[in-house]
Homo-oligomer: A and B are copies of this chain.
Amino acid sequence: MINYDAILEEIYHEVKPLVGEGHIADYIPELARISPQKFGMAVQTIDGEIFQVGDAAEKFSIQSISKVFTLTMAMQLEGDGLWQRIGREPSGTAFNSLVQLEYENGIPRNPFINAGALVVADIILSHLGDARQSVLDFMHRLCSETDIDFDHAVAHSERETGFRNAALANFLKSFGNLDNDPETVLDAYFHHCSLSMSCIEVARAGIYLANGGKLLGNGERIVRANQAKYINSLMLTCGTYDSVGDFAYRVGLPGKSGVGGGILAVMPQEFSICTWSPGLNDSGNSLAGTKALELFTTLTGISIF
Q: Which A residues are closer than 8 A to B by beta carbons?
A: 87-93, 97-100, 102-103, 109-110, 163-164, 166-171, 173-174, 182, 228-230, 232-234, 236-238, 242-246, 248-249, 252, 254, 268, 303-305
The number of times this chain is found in the oligomer is: 4
CA distance A234 to B246 in the complex (A): 9
Task: Tell me the nearest residue of chain B to A173, going by C-beta.
Answer: B163
Q: Is the interface of A mostly helix, strand, loop or mixed?
A: helix
Most buried by B among A98, A228, A234, A238: A98
CA distance A242 to B88 in the complex (A): 10
CA distance A66 to B202 in the complex (A): 41
**CB < 8 Å neighbour of A233 from B99, B167, B249, B268:** B249
A238 to chain B, nearest CB (A): 7
Q: Are B254 and A236 in contact (CB under 8 A)?
A: no
Q: Are A245 and B305 in contact (CB under 8 A)?
A: no
A291 to chain B, nearest CB (A): 15
Q: Are A98 and B245 in contact (CB under 8 A)?
A: no
Q: List 16 A-B contacts (CB under 8 A).
A: A88-B245, A89-B92, A90-B92, A110-B245, A163-B170, A163-B174, A167-B167, A167-B171, A229-B305, A234-B248, A234-B249, A236-B237, A236-B305, A237-B237, A237-B248, A268-B304
A171 — which chain B residues lie within 8 A by C-beta? 98, 163-164, 167
**CB < 8 Å neighbour of A245 from B89, B100, B242:** B89
A87 — which chain B residues lie within 8 A by C-beta? 245
Q: Are B164 and A170 in contact (CB under 8 A)?
A: yes
Most buried by B among A166, A303, A305: A305
Q: Are A245 and B238 in contact (CB under 8 A)?
A: yes
A275 to chain B, nearest CB (A): 19
Task: Tell me the nearest residue of chain B to A283, going by C-beta.
Answer: B89
A244 — which chain B residues lie within 8 A by C-beta? 89-90, 237
A164 — which chain B residues lie within 8 A by C-beta? 170-171, 174
Q: A88-B245, A89-B243, A245-B87 are in contact. Are A232 and B102 (CB under 8 A)?
A: no
Task: Tell me the nearest residue of chain B to A103, going by C-beta.
Answer: B99
CA distance A170 to B170 in the complex (A): 9
A234 — which chain B residues lie within 8 A by C-beta? 245, 248-249
Q: Besides A98-B98, A166-B170, 11 other CB < 8 A contacts?
A: A87-B245, A89-B244, A91-B92, A92-B92, A167-B168, A167-B171, A230-B249, A234-B249, A236-B248, A236-B305, A237-B245
Task: Tell me the nearest residue of chain B to A254, going by C-beta.
Answer: B305
Q: Are A102 and B97 in contact (CB under 8 A)?
A: yes
Most buried by B among A87, A90, A91: A90
A79 to chain B, nearest CB (A): 14
A248 — which chain B residues lie within 8 A by C-beta? 233-234, 236-237
A120 to chain B, nearest CB (A): 16
Q: Are A167 and B163 in contact (CB under 8 A)?
A: no
